[in-house]
Every structure is written in structure tokens, then in C-alpha cells.
Amino acid sequence: MHELEARNLQMKFGGVTAIANLNLTVEEGEIRGLIGPNGAGKTTFFNACSGRYPITDGEILYRGEKISGLKPHEIATRGLVRTFQHVTLFRRFSVLRNVMTGNYLHSRHSYWGSLLRTRSTREAEAASERRAREILDFVGLRSIVDQEASTLAHGHQKMLGIAVALAAEPRMLLLDEPCAGMNSDESREMIGLVRRIRETGITVMLIEHDMKVVMGLCDRITVLNFGNEVADGTPEQVRANPEVREAYLGSQTYAA
Amino acid sequence: MEELSRIQKGTWGVLLLLALIAPFLVNFDLYLIHVGIVITFNVMLATSLWLIWSLGLVSFAHAGFMGVGAYASALLLHWFGLPMWYGLWIGALLSGLLAMLISIPLMRTKAVYFFMASWAVGEVIKRVFAYFKGTFGGWDGIFDIKPPVLDVGFLQIDFTNRVAYYYLALLFGVLTVWIIHRMNSSRTGMVYWSIQQNELLAQHIGINVFRQKVICFTISCIMAGTTGALYAHYQTYISPHSFDIWTSEFALVHVIVGGLTTVGGPVAGAISLTIIDEALRATGYFRTMFFGFVLIASVLLLPGGLETIPRRLRELFNRSTGK
């Protein structure tokens, strides 16, 4: 059983084919990179996996179970959680509250509990807050738990986005350009964080444009171009693949 | 989750105490007690409307659902002779049931489209009351909706007595505010506000946004329906005009002038604007105009609403003492 599997996946928006016919598998415990030129269909693939947009054809399986056709919240409930390319946070919430909200699935929310503030509700709220603080420690945002999310530096906001996703306690995490817009120090921190996430047993798939990050971090890399898979393999294999060079640099016949 | 500070608790306590002794303070002046009852209704409408706002939505159907509660309770009395004690609950539940059914298509719309769709819903509800003359009395409305009598053997309270009705309305007003405060300050509130802040992210961390919206809208409309039933048996007369867009709009103005971030906002807004509105009654035609001035002035001079006053005073105090 594969952790994540796409079979003959097709995504069309009107007349535009974003993903033509994609077959790929991700195994449990790996860090998988997803690269390709702009418009190759990388983010579209994440949107398909997370249920944000309906797929046109084919199917997506998560741990052997078909998830295409499910709603985003149903997919998150199954343990597949994603982050977004652009900073996506509860902007007016404090850092802690962002992560506590992320912990929603695991903190048994009930209306009667909210109204009557029963003992079990108070305990669940306290447990959820402890869990949120643990996650913020893990991510390295401990010192800014009380700040409002909108006031944070860009790098911290990206980190917080991952913390919110981690609070949903995923078994697999889809990271859409975690290092986008980061300076090299922040990137290094992010790389360390992704490694630590994998060590906790979470499978990671990430989209990234920074080749240094991708080559250094990923166990395997899948290359997309025009909605098709061009290559799949270890960083060395992908680097040596002529088709990948072509996708990024243009065809040699024309270039020469 | 978010505990009230001691000052906030004190303010709520003082407010409740004032509300409880208000009839004595005004020396049982019937007109002023009437104003008190109107204030309670407006507080209930504004706070329940604010509950929907915590999802980031502005509903203009609120008066319509208030009407459902009012008509249901009035008709139960006229057709079956059931006093308000039944109409109150049945009216509220009918209002909630209708809200739940309507919110299923309604919650597929967003932002300004939701606002327009909810406006249409409110308008349709009103026109249904007006159209079916045989059932709902048409534009003429329904007369003679008697207030109830409480009879528990040793104690009899006739709610035609205005002071008695004031305390009845106050009971439901306090209950409404308390429920909304509890919801908002717990994880339910966290879920609602998270949907307002970022619906996309809320969905992707596992919140069933659609379901939460339907539940929130239903609860809010149950409260509006309760207000409607209380209103009907107090005024003893209702017509479709009582539940048109203006009623929703005034509730919205109360929320905006009061403030959008805590339940104290709509409460403060409803209380102060109802008093201002009544005080302006003597100015006749100019009343609406003055009301407009007050609204514009408060939005311009007090962005964030009345709920920001404590913070502003604190800042002013700190500045003047040079801290």
C-alpha cells in the first residue's frame, strides 16, 4: 500500500489542461520533492489531493482509500493535511490561538460543552493549549506565542502555517513552497524543521523552486512539465536526466 | 477559554443590577419601562445578529425570522388558544427549522451575495405574511395577541402588567446574551472566528465549515424567533411591516455602532441607540435624520464602536499621567 497514489489523474479548468495524465506514488516516511517549471501543475496537484478543486478524471488514493471527491475537511480528518504557497493564517488570532484552532480535529469540540463549560470541556481546552505549545516549541516559535499572526515576519508566518498544519496531527503533510520568500538563514531553519517533521513519522511531500533546498532535502524527486511527469528518482538521477534539463532550460535542438 | 477580566465582570454585574432595579429607578413610569422592554428586544436582535457576524456574514433576513416566531406564536393563540408559553418555544423552533432549511442553499453564497440572498429571504418571508390574507391577516396584520398569565397555584402573574413583562423580557434578554457570550468565548467561538478569518484554512484543518455555518445561523434565528414571539405578545399587534428590512438594518446599525469583536459591542450599541432614538422622538420628522447623524458621527469619530471606549480611556489616562 502506498501512502499517496494518483492514478491517471486529470485536471482541466475549462479548456486548460493543468494535469494531463499523472501517475505517481509516494511511500510512507519519505520526503518527496515535486518540482517543475511554472504552470507545470504542481500546486494543482496539491489542490486535487486536498479536495480544494474537483478532479476531472482518474483517482487519488490515500493509504489505499479513495479520497478524490471528498471535501477538504474530510481529507484532513483522514490525516492528509496541506499548507499553502501564500501565507494563509487566521491573521487576527494570536500565534497560540492559530495553532489551537489547527488542533480542532483532536480537541473534541461540542456545543453543549461550550455552553455549560463542563469539566471535560475545560480539560480538553487545557489539553489542546498544551498540545499547541508543544507544537510551537517544536517549530521554534515559542518566544512569540502571544503575538498576533498578522504582525509576524514573513519567515515566522510560514513557520506558523506549518505549525497550524501540524496541529491537525497529519500522517502526511503537503508543503507548498515552504521556503518561498525566505532568506538563506530562514531557509536553513525550514530545512531543519522539515527533517524533524519526517523524524516524527510524518510523510512529507513538498513543492519547492530552490534547487539547493530540493536536492539537499528530498529522498526522491518527481518532475512535472505541462501536467505530465517527466522524471522520477533520487536527486542525482533527476539532476542527470536530460529531459529535466530540457524542461528547465529548453530543448537543445533549438538552443544550439 | 477567554476568561473575562475583573473589570469586565464588574461592568456586566453593574449593568445587570441596573437592569434589575430599573423600574424602581424610573419610579414605575410606564413609558420608560416601555423603552426598557424595547431595549431588551433590540439587545436580543443585535446580539444574535452579531453571532452570525462572527462567521463573517451579515444577514438581512433577521427580521424575517423574528416574524416567523411572532406569527407562529400569535396564530397558536388565535387558532388553538395556546398561550405564549407554548408559542414562545414553538415559534422559536419553527424559526430555527426554517432557518436551517433555508441556510442550506443560503450558505453556499459568500460575502455580498450572501447579504443579497439573505435580504431576499427576509423580504420573501415578509411578503408571505402579507400575501396570504386568510392565514396571516395580510398587510392588516393580526390583532389582539394577548400577553400570557403565569399561574403556578400560589402565584399568579398577569403579563399585561408592563413591569411584569419587562422582567420577562429581561430574563430572555439576559439568557440570550449569556448563551452567546458562552459560545463566543469557548471553542465554538474560536471555530466561528476562524471561519471569518480564513475559511479556506479552516476547511483544510478539518473544520466542516458548511455545517458550522448552518448550525450558527439556526441558533441565531431561534433567538430571533424568540424575540419575535415576545414582541408579538407585548405589542399585541403585528403586521408584515413590523418585520421588514428596517428592523434588520437597525439591528445591524446597533452592532456596528456598538462594536464587532465582543458581545459587549452589540449590547452597548442596542442600549445606547434605542435610548437616543427614543429621545429624538420629540423631533418628529427630523428623528430619522438625527439618527443618521448619530450613526455617521459614531462611525467617523469612534471607529471600532462603543466597545473601544474603555481602551481609549485607558490610553488617554496613561498619556495624561505620562506613562
Taking only the tens place, the pLDDT of each residue in B8-29 is: 899 999 999 999 999 999 999 9
Residues pairing with A9 in the sheet: A22
| pLDDT for position A255 | 44
**Sequence-ordered list of residues with C-beta below 8 angstroms from that of A46, at least 6 positions apart, any chain:** A82, A174, A176, A207
C-alpha–C-alpha distance, residues A217 and A81, integer Å: 20
- Output phi, psi for A204, to 5 deg: -125, 135
C-alpha–C-alpha distance, residues B169 and B234, integer Å: 9
The pTM assigned to this predicted structure is 0.93
Question: A58: left (phi > 0), else alpha (psi -120 to 50), else beta?
Answer: left
Q: In this structure, are residues B103 and B42 in contact, taking their beta carbons and an 8 Å threshold? A: no
- Whether A65 and A114 share a structural domain: no
C-alpha–C-alpha distance, residues A189 and B32, integer Å: 65
What are the strands, taking DSSP E only, across chain B? 149-151, 156-158
| pLDDT for position A244 | 86
Assess A154–B contact: CB distance below 8 Å, yes or no.
no
- Considering only alpha carbons, which residue of chain B is nearest residue A73? B206
Would the pLDDT of A251 be above 80? no
- Whether A179 and A255 share a structural domain: yes
Q: How much is the mean pLDDT over chain A?
A: 92
Among candidates A236, A234, A230, A237, which has minimal Cα distance to A251?
A: A230
Mutate to test the interface with A, among B205, B219, B220 (most CBs of A within 10 A): B205
- Whether A99 and A159 share a structural domain: yes
Using DSSP bridges, classify how beta strands B149-151 and B156-158 pair: parallel, antiparallel or unpaired.
antiparallel
What ranges in B139-263 are assigned the alpha helix state H?
A: 162-184, 187-197, 199-204, 209-235, 245-258
A91: which 3 cell numbers? 491573521
- Whether A147 and A256 share a structural domain: no
C-alpha–C-alpha distance, residues B225 and A143, integer Å: 47
- Whether A162 and A179 share a structural domain: no
Is residue A87 a part of any domain in this protein?
A: no
**Sequence-ordered list of residues with C-beta below 8 angstroms from that of B267, at least 6 positions apart, any chain:** B15, B43, B46, B47, B177, B258
- Whether A191 and A250 share a structural domain: yes
C-alpha–C-alpha distance, residues A191 and A183, integer Å: 12
Residue A47, judged by CB atoms within 10 A of its CB (0-12, 13-18, 19+), counts as buried
Would the pLDDT of B87 be above 80? yes
Percentage above 70 pLDDT, chain B: 98
| pLDDT for position B15 | 95
Cβ–Cβ of B204/A90 closer than 8 Å? Answer: no
Would the pLDDT of A147 be above 50? yes
Would the pLDDT of B1 be above 70? no
C-alpha–C-alpha distance, residues B101 and B35, integer Å: 35
- Whether A240 and A230 share a structural domain: yes
- Whether A174 and A252 share a structural domain: yes
Using one digit for the tens of pLDDT, what is the confidence trace for A175-200? 999 999 899 999 999 999 999 999 99
Distance from CA of A240 to the nearest CA of B (A): 37
Assess A46–B contact: CB distance below 8 Å, yes or no.
no
Using one digit for the tens of pLDDT, what is the confidence trace for B45-63? 999 999 999 999 999 999 9
Of A151, A169, A187, the one marking the end of a domain is A169
Cβ–Cβ of B183/A115 closer than 8 Å? Answer: yes
- Considering only alpha carbons, which residue of chain B is nearest residue A169? B205
Q: How many CB atoms lie within 10 A of CB A104?
A: 23
The interface predicted TM-score of the complex, written ipTM, equals 0.93
Residue B313, judged by CB atoms within 10 A of its CB (0-12, 13-18, 19+), counts as exposed
User: Which of B182, B190, B203 is closest, CB to CB, to A117?
Assistant: B182
Which of B6-10, B35-39, B176-180 has the least mean pLDDT? B6-10
Mutate to test the interface with B, among A52, A104, A128 (most CBs of B within 10 A): A104
Structural domain count of chain A: 2
Q: How many CB atoms lie within 10 A of CB A198?
A: 17
Which of A42-56, B4-18, B26-40, B46-60 has the least mean pLDDT? B4-18
Is residue A215 a part of any domain in this protein?
A: yes
- Whether A242 and A196 share a structural domain: yes
CATH of the domain at A196: 3.40.50.300
Using DSSP bridges, classify how beta strands A80-82 and A172-176 pair: parallel, antiparallel or unpaired.
parallel
Would the pLDDT of B251 be above 70? yes
What separation in angstroms does the CA of B161 have from each of B34, B40, B86?
11, 17, 20
Cβ–Cβ of A104/B204 closer than 8 Å? Answer: no
| pLDDT for position B213 | 97
- Whether A126 and A198 share a structural domain: no
| pLDDT for position A256 | 42
Instruction: Please name the residue that has the C-alpha cell 506514488.
Output: A25
Cβ–Cβ of A167/B204 closer than 8 Å? Answer: no
- Whether A47 and A157 share a structural domain: no
Cβ–Cβ of B200/A168 closer than 8 Å? Answer: no
Assess A131–B contact: CB distance below 8 Å, yes or no.
no
User: Which of B190, B194, B204 is closest, CB to CB, to A76?
Assistant: B204
Of A142, A169, A196, the one marking the end of a domain is A169
Cβ–Cβ of B205/A102 closer than 8 Å? Answer: yes
Domain range for A233: 1-79+170-256
Is residue B227 very low, low, confident or very high in pLDDT (cuts 50, 70, 90)? very high
Is residue A21 a part of any domain in this protein?
A: yes
Q: In this structure, are residues A237 and A247 in contact, taking their beta carbons and an 8 Å threshold? A: no
Cβ–Cβ of B188/A109 closer than 8 Å? Answer: yes
The contact set of B with A (CB < 8 A) is 1, 179, 182-183, 186-191, 193-194, 197-198, 200-209, 215
